[in-house]
């Protein structure tokens, strides 16, 4: 998606064609060294430079992807002989009520992983950008970005302490006389999924804020000046200048966080392991369970492919919307 922007030179489409198309794969391919911009003169030598990256990409991204597709068509325990299953695995994924419920959980998480961090991020960014230059701004940005640096596993463990029966949240509730609301947040059916969502929101808020702050700092100050001269207050200023100018950044925030929500694994695995019952089981966790605990590699792969398609279905419209009107 973003390669499209990188690979163009002054409006001409690039000649290189190592385009990425797959959902989760995008994240990985971002680590492949940037492809050189092609010109007709350097076409062949260009390919030569691309070759190492392309080979790595092919071997570590495309080949596993294709193997996954292949596995979906079999019943296989990962070791012994496999049996041809045709599209049975896909049929199971799309009809098993348990699996559908699990997919639904991922969509609930989008609210927490995407909407909350982006909304809060916008608020925080527009406040912070007024103090971006001083040491205070640096401090604020560092603090906000910190959750992004902490490994998700550590965040998951820390939060499961905070949310436990004797954890900080309940201590605070007890201290202010709301003890009757205290509970095992991650252990109760009604609160477990939102509680996991809160952890995700905390992790992703920093990323969104930093992207949005960067975006705001690129907005031409003249626009704000003009708005002020026209008598706009800070709310009006936000909706008339800041928000429209941040369309692309918001698009990127949404893309990254929606992928994080749909493909979530670490936080859930650490904080709840999908429980209680199946209240917080998400597709990423179920794929892992199916493949490694239940040893149904075919079904796990089919769920993975469906998940990848879901990610694409959710992310492509966001990409489109955030680009239009330019």
Partner 1 sequence: MYEGMTGRTTPPPCRGFRRARVIPAVAVPLALLAAACSAPGSGDTDSASGDSAVSTSLGKGKVTLRMYAETGFPLAKALADEFTRQHPNVTFKVREDQFTVLVENAPRVLAGDNAPDVIRLPTMVDLVKDGLLKNLDPYVKAYGWDKFPASQLAQLRVDKNGQRGSGPLYGTGLGYSVTGVFFNKDLAKKVGMTRPPTTVAEFEGLLAKAKKDGVQPIVQFNKNTAGINFPYQALQNQFADPARVNDWVFQKPGATFDTPASVKAAQTIEKWAKAGYFTKDANAMDYTTMVGDFTKGRGLFMFNGDWESANLDTKMPGNVGFFLFPAETATGRLVAMSSPNTFGIGARAKHPNEAAFFLNWLHTDPKARKILVDVGGSSPGGPAGLAVPEAKEGSVLASTLRASQQLAAENGAVDFTANATGSIFASAITPELQKLVVGQQTPEGYVKAVQKEYEKELSQ
Task: Please say which residue, 228 or 295, places its beta carbon nearer to partner 1.
Answer: 295
Q: Minimal distance in Å, beta carbon 41 to partner 1?
A: 21
Is the previous residue joined to 276 through a cis bond, with omega within 30 degrees of 0?
yes
Q: For residues 262 and 283, give the distance between their C-alpha atoms in angstroms, rounded to a whole number.
A: 7
What are the helix (H) ranges across the chain? 3-6, 23-29, 43-57, 63-71, 88-95, 97-110, 116-128, 135-149, 152-162, 168-175, 192-217, 221-229, 234-237, 243-245, 247-262, 266-271, 283-288, 297-323
Angle between helices 116-128 and 192-217 (to 10 degrees): 40
Q: Does 233 bind partner 1 (CB under 8 A)?
A: no
Query: Least distance to partner 1 from the beta carbon of 111, Å?
Result: 23
The residue count for binding partner 1 (CB under 8 A) is: 63
- Tokens 């040893």 correspond to 295
Closest to 184 (Cα-Cα) out of 156, 153, 203, 162 = 162
Q: Is 297 in the site for partner 1 (CB under 8 A)?
A: yes
Residue 4 touching partner 1 (CB under 8 A): yes
Min separation Cβ 228 and partner 1, Å: 22
39, 171, 189, 236: residue in contact with partner 1 (rule CB under 8 A): 189
Alpha carbon distances (Å) from 298 to 86, 98, 176: 10, 17, 52
Q: Which of 49, 56, 137, 187 binds partner 1 (CB under 8 A)?
A: 187
Residue 22 binding partner 1, by CB under 8 A: yes
- The CA distance from 168 to 198, in Å, is 14
Residue 181 binding partner 1, by CB under 8 A: no
- Choices 106-114, 125-133, 197-205, 268-276; region in contact with partner 1 by CB under 8 A: 268-276
Match 């163009």 to its residue by tokens.
8
Q: Which region, judged by CB under 8 A, interacts with partner 1, from 16-24, 45-53, 134-142, 224-232? A: 16-24
Which candidate, 308, 325, 303, 298, places its Cα nearest to that of 98? Answer: 303
Q: Is 292 in the site for partner 1 (CB under 8 A)?
A: yes
Q: For partner 1, which residue of 114, 267, 296, 310 counts as binding (CB under 8 A)?
A: 296
Out of 41, 84, 177, 235, which residue is the one contacting partner 1 (CB under 8 A)? 84
Q: Report the interhelical angle of 247-262 vs 97-110 (nearest 10°).
A: 150
Can residue 91 be called a binding residue for partner 1 (CB under 8 A)? no
Residues that bind partner 1 (CB under 8 A): 2, 4-6, 8, 10-11, 13, 19, 21-22, 30, 34, 62, 65-67, 69-71, 73-82, 84, 164-165, 183-189, 211, 214-215, 218, 248-249, 252, 272-278, 289, 292-297, 323, 326
């Amino acid at each position: 998606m973003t390669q499209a922007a990188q690979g163009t030179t002054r409006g001409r489409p690039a000649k290189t064609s190592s385009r990425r198309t797959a959902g989760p794969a995008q994240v990985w391919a971002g680590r492949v060294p940037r492809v050189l911009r092609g010109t007709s003169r350097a076409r062949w030598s260009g390919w030569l430079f691309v070759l190492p990256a392309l080979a790595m990409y092919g071997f570590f991204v495309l080949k596993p992807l294709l193997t996954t597709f292949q596995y979906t068509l079999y019943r296989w325990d990962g070791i012994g002989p496999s049996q041809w299953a045709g599209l049975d695995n896909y049929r199971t994924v799309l009809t098993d009520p348990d699996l559908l419920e699990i997919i639904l959980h991922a969509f609930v998480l989008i609210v927490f992983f995407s909407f909350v961090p982006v909304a809060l991020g916008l608020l925080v960014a527009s406040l912070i950008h007024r103090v971006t230059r001083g040491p205070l701004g640096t401090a604020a940005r560092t603090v906000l970005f910190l959750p992004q640096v902490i490994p998700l596993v550590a965040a998951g463990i820390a939060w499961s302490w905070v949310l436990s029966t004797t954890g900080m949240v309940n201590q605070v509730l007890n201290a202010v006389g709301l003890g009757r609301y205290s509970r095992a947040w991650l252990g109760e059916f009604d609160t477990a999924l939102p509680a996991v969502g809160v952890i995700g929101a905390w992790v992703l808020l920093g990323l969104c804020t930093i992207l949005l702050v960067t975006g705001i700092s690129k907005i031409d100050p003249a626009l704000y000046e003009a708005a002020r001269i026209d008598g706009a207050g800070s709310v009006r200023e936000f909706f008339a200048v800041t928000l429209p100018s941040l369309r692309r950044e918001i698009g990127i925030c949404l893309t990254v966080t929606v992928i994080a929500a749909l493909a979530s694994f670490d936080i859930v695995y650490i904080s709840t392991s999908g429980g209680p019952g199946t209240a917080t089981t998400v597709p990423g966790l179920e794929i892992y369970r199916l493949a490694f605990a239940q040893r149904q590699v075919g079904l796990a792969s089919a769920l993975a492919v469906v998940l990848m398609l879901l990610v694409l279905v959710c992310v492509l419209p966001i990409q489109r919307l955030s680009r239009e009107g330019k």
